[in-house]
Structures are given as C-alpha cells and as structure tokens.
C-alpha cells in the first residue's frame, strides 16, 4: 500500500491529476507485494511552462533481507500527465532491477547451501 504526500511549489495539482497519478502508481504497487511505501510527489511549473515532476518512493520491507529501499525518478515535460507516465516507467524499471538482484542472490545462496 502506497501512501502519498503531494508538495507543490508553483502550481497546485488538481484532483484529476492526483487520481491519474495514483492510478498509474497502483501499477507499481503489485510489484511491491505487501510492502509499505511512502511516495513524496513534487510538482513544479517552471518558467518555460514545463512541469517538473519528482517522485521519491520509500519502500519498507520490500523483501525479507532488505529493510528499506529508496527510489527516485523525475521528469520534465510540457504536459503533467505525460510526465507521470515517464516517471512511472522509470520507477518500474528501478524496482524490477532491485527485485531481480535480490532473487538472483537468493537463488545463489540456496544453491550454495545445497552443495554443502
């Protein structure tokens, strides 16, 4: 379950934007199983009418041997919704990379124990 906190420096996110972001990040939630996560969403509109979106995701107990892991992704785009799509893909990649490494290490450890 992901808990969200929104921080806006220059433009306030609308309710539809928040709903869209939560919907997109729910696709990441299934990767995390039952791990608790906090998402800090920062949205800023700069002088060039571009949106700077940064999401910091702190996941607690992603796996048994990993107590806490922090993921951070940011994107700049003229459309805030497109920025959400880009950030969601970046976070997915980071989480999958971590889970693959953890699973690979677990398999190596199990095979090592079996040889003893």
The answer to whether the pTM exceeds 0.95 is no
What are the pLDDT tens digits along the chain (116 aa)? Answer: 789 999 887 778 889 999 999 999 888 888 887 788 999 999 998 888 899 999 999 998 776 667 788 999 999 999 999 999 999 999 999 989 988 888 887 777 777 666 66
DSSP string, 5-64: EEEESSSPPPHHHHHHHHHHHHHHHGGGTT-EEEEEEEEEE-TTSPEEEEEEEEEEEEET
């Amino acid at each position: 379950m992901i808990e969200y906190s929104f921080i806006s420096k220059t433009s306030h996110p609308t309710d539809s934007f928040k709903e869209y972001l939560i919907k997109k990040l729910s696709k990441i939630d299934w990767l995390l199983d039952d791990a608790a996560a906090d998402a800090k969403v920062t949205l800023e509109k700069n002088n060039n009418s571009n949106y700077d979106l940064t999401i910091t995701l702190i996941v607690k107990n992603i796996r048994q041997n990993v107590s806490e892991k922090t993921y951070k992704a940011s994107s700049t785009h003229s459309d805030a919704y497109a920025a959400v799509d880009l950030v969601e893909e970046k976070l997915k990649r980071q989480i999958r990379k971590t889970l693959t490494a953890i699973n690979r290490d677990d398999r190596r450890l199990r095979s090592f124990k079996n040889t003893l």
